[in-house]
Chain A
Amino acid sequence: MEEFFQQLTNGLAVGSIYALIALGYTMVYGVLKLINFAHGDLFTIGAYLGMTLLASFALHETIGPFLGLVVLALMVMGLVAVLGAIVERTAYRPLRESPRLSAVVSALGASIFLQNAVMLIYGARFQVYPEGLVPETSVDLFGLYVPVVRILVLFVSLALMAGLYAFIQKTRIGTAIRAAAIDQDAARLMGIDVNRVILLVFLIGPALGGAAGLLVGMQYGQINFTMGWTYGMKAFTAAILGGIGNIPGAMLGGILLGVIEALGSAYISIAWKDAIAFFVLILILIVRPTGLLGERVADKI
């Protein structure tokens, strides 16, 4: 039983990262019906920017660990958000009226471009976050050893998700985003600047992706220019699992995928971990083709 709960916490930690990245896929899909393949690479860039800023400013040493990390997270999120908006401007907006396939190819191109740019700038070696950034200790939770970092990561990602949910549901701009997701033309007729909404989506999604990159960097310490592909793939799966285009669906899908992976490798086979996760995805899609929460089409995003 103890092992079960240990595996559950392992799954939650991984799943919360998946969920955070999945939000970016799902939001873009919600308004544009486009899979933003470059999203995984924006996540990578978030991780690399975090490392660079840490190395050059060492904010956690000058203004205290907590405030330093908050400022760092804000900087990373801001920079990646700007980058996301640039990608939208250069790779997607010129193709807004062209067939969907062109946009998908453009997205793949943007992904390859960003990945190789990271490799050329930082080199192909694994990069490492400075040590001693976050407490390396574990806490004893009812007999389970849970590293402090994991709890921190879990809570930060949950807080970010809750913030996003409140923003989408409760604010005027959030309502505009939801409206644009339902019907762009109708939204435009209601006086919503759809281009601005899309830009906003491309700011929020990448900001969350960048934050996820920073969290992965802090938690695992080791980053690599191909990490966006692995995480992106999983997060994309999570978004589909939860019902792509649906924000709570992405959160649920991410956390569920993490937990399925952990429990699958615990009780079936480690080598078959990914196969198990995708098998569950197929099962769910057979029963519910729109994903877990993707039922009400009118409520997308």
Chain B
Amino acid sequence: MKKTLFFLLACCFLTGMAHAQDTVKIGLMAPLTGSFASEGAEMKQVLELLAADLNAKGGLLGKKVELIVDDDGSDARTAALAAQRLTTKGVVAVIGTYGSSVTEASQTIFNEARIVQIANGSTAIRLSEKNLKYFFRTCPRDDEQGKVAVDAIVKTKAKKVAILHDNSTYAKGLADEVKAPLEKKGIKVVFFDALTPKQSDYTAVLTKMKGAGPELVFFTGYYSEAGLLLKQAKQMNWKVPFMGGDATYNTDLVKLAGKEAVTGFSFVMPPLPKYLPSKQAKAFLAAFKKKYGSEPSSPYSVLAGDGFRVVAAAIAQAKTTDADKLAGYLKTQFKDKDALTGTISFNAKGDRVGDVYRYFKFDSRGEIALQK
């Protein structure tokens, strides 16, 4: 009896193995529900497009690539569950995810399961300071972003600056990252506080900030709040310039704030592909528009796409799906000059090397323009 059971189990296991080897499985952990659901939906679209494209060209190592998508719900607890589910499905690498605190909950799970993880939107510094062997990210870190933001603020010649964040891992981190260097340069931070995200009325915050008399407001939170802040500042007739971190931009921002209120708003961000001259980016944009009807609205979904391309290129060039070899290859040899968002290579911590951030400003037509 025992023997038959063992035999049956072995059969199941073997067929399972055989099945698993039919395809190269790449996971995507994305916020398909919850407050960042719009980001997640686009990440999925980008990866499905790229996977279909790769399969049309013959796949990887002679096999088709299969995308396994799981939902992190924009929430740390849901993400831990999603990560555990993904590890049981035989994925060789995982792309994702967006929020830093959400990624943080999944990092050690993937690391212990020896799965390469490439985050696309998690910019908090401490994520790559934990000596995790298999963690990478295609987005830059907040200290990088902070530097670019400080430079931009200095250039505006504002002497009194208000800094507003929303207490999330990312926004608070960036706000802290900007505050100290500004004070060192003799720029006064007259206001430093956090708003409560996901509300509609920020007039109380604005009224209080206005009382502090800043010449520039630097907001490190997300775009829906940025839209409301801009719109309500205009309704209050307060004409202070606003600047934002990379989460304040989304193509929807113009709609949310209105063209007039968004004029003059500036922000630092990794560039959207439409601002990149590369052929790959243009081809990708055209394919995306053809399949889904409009261009991607967030730079992070494109960075997820880059994560997928990195994994695919590494597997193809290192000719293996072994996590140790892949991670080693990515850290030491990998360099892609033709990624969707520019050149990609990684340092020993798994962080992307090079300056990715750019400084943008809205003009009166509601279009963004690259600033020098």
Contact = CB atoms under 8 A, between A and B. Distances in A.
Given A126-B252, A128-B256, A273-B196, A7 B204 contact: yes
A274 B167 CA distance: 13
Q: How large is the interface on B (under 10, 10 to 19, 20 to 34, 35 or more residues)?
A: 35 or more
Contacts, number: 99
Nearest to B207: A6
Interface residues of A, number: 39
Nearest to A258: B201
Given A128-B252, A136-B258, A149-B235, 15 more contacts: A3-B208, A14-B204, A124-B33, A126-B224, A138-B237, A147-B235, A220-B232, A221-B256, A222-B224, A224-B224, A226-B34, A230-B198, A270-B194, A271-B167, A274-B196
A265 B191 CA distance: 13
A136 B235 contact: yes
Which 6 pairs, one residue from A and one from B, show the smallest C-beta to C-beta distance?
A: A124-B37, A271-B194, A220-B200, A147-B235, A10-B203, A125-B38
Interface string B246-275: 000000100110100000000000000000
Instruction: Label chain B's interface by main secondary structure.
Output: helix
Contact of B228 (A7, A14, A131, A220): A220
Contacts of B252: 125-126, 128
Contacts of A74: none
Contacts of A66: none
A227 B199 CA distance: 8
B195 A270 contact: yes
Given A145-B237, A230-B199, A269-B193, A10 B204 contact: yes
Contacts of A216: 200
B293 interface: no
A262 B204 contact: yes
A203 interface: no
A144 to B, nearest CB: 10
B307 interface: no
Interface string A260-291: 01100110011101100000000000000000
21 contacts: A3-B207, A3-B208, A11-B204, A119-B37, A124-B33, A124-B41, A126-B224, A128-B252, A138-B235, A220-B232, A221-B231, A221-B256, A221-B258, A226-B198, A227-B200, A231-B200, A265-B204, A270-B194, A270-B208, A271-B194, A274-B196
B219 to A, nearest CB: 13
Interface in A226-263: 226-227, 230-231, 261-262
B205 interface: yes
